[in-house]
Amino acid sequence: MDYRTLGDTGTKVSELCLGTWRFAKESDGVVETDRKTAHALLDTFAEAGGNFVDTANVYGDPSGTSEDWIGDWLADRDREDFVLASKVYFPMGDGPNDSGLSRKHIRSQIRGTLDRLGTEYLDLYYIHRWDEETPIEETLSVLTELVEEGKVNYLGASSMAAWQLTKALWTSDVEGLERFDVTQPMYHAAATDDTVEHYLDVCADQDVAVCPYSPLAGGFLTGKYSRDGDAPEGSRADLVDSFEEYYVSETGWDVLDEIRAVADELDATPPQVALRWLVQQRAFTCTPIVGARTVDQLEENLGAAEISLSDDQFDRITDARTV
């Protein structure tokens, strides 16, 4: 596993980040990833050289369980070997101040996150969403205090619009507050939404790193689907009504065809090529967040760190997105 500098920071992270949103997540009463499997996934990731782990205070059932399990695993390891990211925004209780990005809620949640992870600081703290009810000045002010207090090293923003990120960066510069160094949008090779491209233009211009979630388009880019066939039984496309709306388009099929062709050339798999295309982005630092239900799935995804796309292969995939 190679490492790269995370945007405009001095911290180096693995080319791939491990996503833990499935840890302790219940679907129809069944836990997608239990504690034993979660620790096996963390072991596999670390053994491959991965050092960048992403979680959030709301991940797991009940909320906070993902952080708890990571903290348990980390207790037997050197904390300094890992770059930990978590998030704040969504409700953690029923009270009127139990959600959002107010000073009160952020202060409360950083204490809980650090306690569950068993660490004195976070490497990266994301706001999970934009808060329409709290001035961005208040949010950035308290986040800056956390950096000054040594509780957080860097700040990130998840699921923002381009104008929101621009406003936040401008506010930081004008008010002398800490900036967002990392963003976390939904992004993948089959994405066709111009608004995401505008957002990424801001990231490139401002040297903000990008850690996209859903880098395989919800499984669409794994290659398990075909244009004319029915979705495999039990797959996300089979179970989730909105799958096609979010992930499938005619352009997406063209991209998948090119990814399959490149995979054949490299003796790789479509997921590995789709992830590698993100890793090799030229305009901005891109570290995709990979999740997996099983160790086998994770090992396949980690294979993206072992291949390299030629300029021609990279451009063919990119061109398929714009035809």
Catalytic residues: 59
Sign of the CA dihedral 308, 313, 315, 317? negative
Per the rule left: phi > 0, alpha: psi between -120 and 50, beta: everything else, 61 is: beta
In DSSP terms, 126 is beta-bridged to: 87, 156
Give the DSSP letter of residue 213: B
DSSP 239-254: H-TTHHHHH--HHHHH
* End-to-end alpha carbon distance in the chain: 33
- Is the bond leading into 62 cis (omega within 30 degrees of zero)? yes
Of the CA atoms within 13 Å of residue 163, those in its CB half-sphere come to 0
Rounded to 5°, the CA angle 85-78-117 comes to 40
Two structure tokens written together for 94: 């029923």
Nearest CA-CA partner of 16 in 34, 31, 1, 33: 1
